[in-house]
Structure 1
Amino acid sequence: MNFPTDIGSIWNRIDSIDPIAYGHTRNYLQGDVTYLSPYISRGVISPRQVAAAVLSKGYTPEQIQRFLQELAWREYFQRVWQQLGDDLFDDIRVNRTPLSSSLLPTAIATANTGIEALDQGIEMLYRTGYMHNHLRMYTASAVCNISKAYWKLPSQWMYYHLLDGDLASNTCSWQWVAGSFSTKKYYCNQENINKYCNTHQQNTWLDHDYSVLPVMDCPDLLKESTRPQLHTILPTTPLPSIDPSLPLHIFHNYHLDPTWRADEPANRVLLLEPSHFKQYPVSEKVIDFVIALAANIEGLQVFCGEFSDIPFAYQVPAVYTREHPAYEHLPAVKDSRDWMFPEVKRFYPSFFGFWKKASAHLNDLSASPLQTASVS
């Protein structure tokens, strides 16, 4: 699994999208997926840019609705976070399911569940920072609904390893599976896993009819639990060199757009705050990926420290960044993100309520100007 970080390769990946094949095969492990999620979650490209690029090839929104819906899911989750704030990280709906643990099943943490697709997916997550979305749902279902562990720490474990780690998407998805952000829990059985992962297992602890799964006892294999060690290791960096006569442009791990205010003279700093990563830890692999993506931004200085430690941070003419719920504390002018549907802002308890409003603006996407970074 390869995730290049230069902007030219990223746009080549966008250009290669087949949205029709994606719509038909995305749920299969070997389906025609885009592998763009790490770049979207890090703000290098936006869902709107991707939608506009694909629509520019002559497709109508109706022809590629499934593809556009999948792009919109990420935006929906971000809007949920905007509206709920920190309440996102607790049960969004009341979940009265008896819980056996607040930890992570050891068999999941060690990729020893006996379910081939799950174990291979977890090993790939550790090795590459990527896991197919269907496997994420299978994993969350096994953790929350079969072992009956609380979703919070397991969701943090998965987020820690994901190159495309998006707090809103990851948290809402785990809650959706667990039934605390949906009207019912999500279950998968071995037959379903075999179908979408091209495996042929039988007689596993998931090889049951769907009517059995909600009432079955936790398999012995999932009863042992562990607390994964989630700590971020940040590199040591010098203080950035700041010209106090110029504005300060702050980039962060969710805002790495090389086209943002690119023509303006400014001090450009990628800010990796220890306080943020203490609250939301990520792996060293993720940090390395973020820093590599940041190399697309001309004149950028990487600084691992708090905003208040930046020289002249409070003396420069202005500080700019992009709006994001994780960085509301920054004393900066916060530009809006490049939303697919900027008109659709309020909280909707379901994606399809959001989509009903958003779909009225689909034709606006094809009119979007394409913004691409210069490729040398």
Structure 2
Amino acid sequence: MTQPPVRLTLATDRRERLAQIRTCFPQASGPDLDDRWQGGRVTALQRLATIDADAYHQTRNHLDGAATRLSPYLRHGCLSLQETVNSVRQSAGKRGVKLIAELSYRDYFRQVWYRFGEAIKQPMESPKVALGTQPLPDFIAQGFTGLVCMDEIVRQLRQEGYVHNHARMWFAAYVLHWLKVDWRQAADWFEQNLLDGDLASNHLSWQWIGASFSHKPYFFNKENIVKFGGGHWCQQCPVRCPFDASYETLHQQLFGAPPPQTGDEAAASHSAYLPVEITAQHLPLRDDSAVVWLHDEMLSPEHALLKSKAPRVFVFDPALYGQWPLKRLQFMADCLSEIPETDIWLGSTAQVLASYSQRHTISQNTPNARLKAAADDARLTWLQEPSLYDTHFSDHELMRFSRYWKKVEPLVFANDDERFSNDPAA
């Protein structure tokens, strides 16, 4: 039997707050939130202010390079993508184009999710190589592969909830191409352990690795790990390295014949997940008529829907977050501690919103079907989330980032005469 919702008052002391969330979710896996990852807009702005676009451009592929580490804050709405891009544009000018291109991947994946909906959980197009169907083995989740590089990636994932993008690619390629694991099961498990877990960014990236959302599969060799990760993993590894070969040899071992030369793939059929055309100015935000439902994508005190004094509600809903690791729930609690006068509940989202039945519920639109299903409220109005680039994309353009970027790159510095050349991964 479902327990009735319980009102929570988050502790102002952070240690007490983390312990409070641990008590609310006793079944949540993993350690407490690492001190390096305090949630909230204050920390996000501090990190944004320290970004070095030049260093990022030169070192972003190296594990010890100048990665921004902003992804958990962007994922949970502590920062908007638009303000982040504007900050890079203002601080670095045209030298920031590579960082802006990488930030634009988040908008791109979001656009694909809106357009194709739940279809992104399945192959977006026919894979260019045979993909495996094996279940995710226990030794992967436990970090006992015997390979120091892969075990360290799993350790970082489980301990911190954050893994460098290049290491994510290595790990996904190892799981898909060497172990022949079903990409959907692997992607689900990986996302559940991330602080920045996002269905579109995660699952479409795994499909890019597997070549069901790209022209060819991604794989790597030992030389690549040493070059971008340093040699310390390899120096410690006690087993014969399965990656120690040329790309030609590994391709033959993993896939057999060379990949076929293919043209453009047909776009998958899509669902109606397009944003609702509503702006904040048109919403009923009178104190006596509306309640704002904050969900996990909009945890900022500066969100447009919080400009009025209408009540705001957040629900730690076990149906939505019961599979999330403890550290991510605590990250959200940090974020909420910076949003004043918010009614915070533990329980069913639908039941909590029903208790505000005299008010019209308003929230930021989302392509996340699970979030929408949790609300279960016919009286809920969705505010269109801001778009990074004010343009329309065809299905064909959304099937490759290179096509998306070709369309939006001129808009990044629309007032400048000089245009940039860029070669993002297709």
TM-score normalised per structure 2 = 0.74
Say whether residues 1:337 and 2:385 are aligned partners: yes
SS at match of 1:104: coil
The reply to whether residue 81 of structure 1 matches residue 118 of structure 2 is: no
Aligned length: 338
Q: In structure 1, what is the equivalent of residue 147 of structure 2?
A: 115
CA distance in 2, matches of 1:212, 1:115: 20
- Out of 334, 351, 354, the position equivalent to 2:404 is 354
Distance 1:165 1:136 in 2: 12
1:242-270: per-residue Cα shift (whole Å, max 9, x none)?
x9934111111122121122331112111
Q: Percent identity?
A: 27
Please tell me whether the aligned partners of residues 316 and 346 of structure 2 are also in contact (alpha carbons under 8 angstroms).
yes
Structure 2 residue aligned with 1:264: 308
1:208 aligns with 2:245: yes
Task: Output the CA distance in 1 between the equivalents of 2:128 and 2:54.
Answer: 40
Which residue, out of 331, 338, 352, partners 1:310? 352
Flag the structure with more relative contact order, 1 or 2, with Cα contacts below 8 A and sequence separation at least 6.
Answer: 2
Give the Å deviation of 1:308. 2.4
What amino acid is the match of 1:141? A
Q: Mind listing any 5+ residue stretches in structure 1 that lack a counterpart?
A: 219-242, 367-376
1:140–1:174: 8 Å Cα contact kept in structure 2?
yes
Distance 2:243 2:295 in 1: 41
Q: Which sections of structure 2, spanning at least 5 residues, go unmatched?
A: 1-33, 256-285, 417-426
- By percentage of residues, which structure has more helix? 2
CA positional deviation for 1:346: 4.1
**Aligned mates of 2:394, 2:254 — CA distance in 1:** 40
Residue 85 (structure 2) aligns with: 51
Deviation of 1:345 after TM superposition, in Å, equals 4.4
Question: In the aligned structure 1, how far is the partner of 2:324 from the partner of 2:223?
Answer: 33
The amino acid that maps onto 2:245 is: H
- CA separation of 1:316/1:357 partners in 2, compared to 1, >3 Å: closer, same or farther? farther
2:60 pairs, out of 18, 26, 33, with: 26
Does the alignment pair 1:319 with 2:361?
Answer: yes
The two structures, once aligned, show a CA RMSD in angstroms of: 2.4
Aligned counterparts, 1:1-376, within 5 A:
2-57=36-91, 59-60=92-93, 62-95=94-127, 97-199=129-231, 201=234, 203-216=240-253, 245-260=288-303, 261-277=305-321, 281-310=323-352, 312-313=354-355, 315-326=357-368, 327-329=371-373, 330=375, 331=377, 332-347=380-395, 348-363=398-413
Q: Which amino acid aligns with 1:14?
A: L
The SS at the match of 2:38 is: coil
Q: Give the letter aligned to residue 404 of structure 2.
A: F
> Counterpart of 1:334 in structure 2: which amino acid?
W
TM-aligned CA distance change 1:34 to 1:248, over 3 Å:
same
The alpha carbon displacement at 1:303 in A equals: 2.1
- The superposition leaves residues 128-172 of structure 1 with CA deviations (integer Å, 9 ceiling, x where unpaired) of 111111111000000111111110111111111100111110000
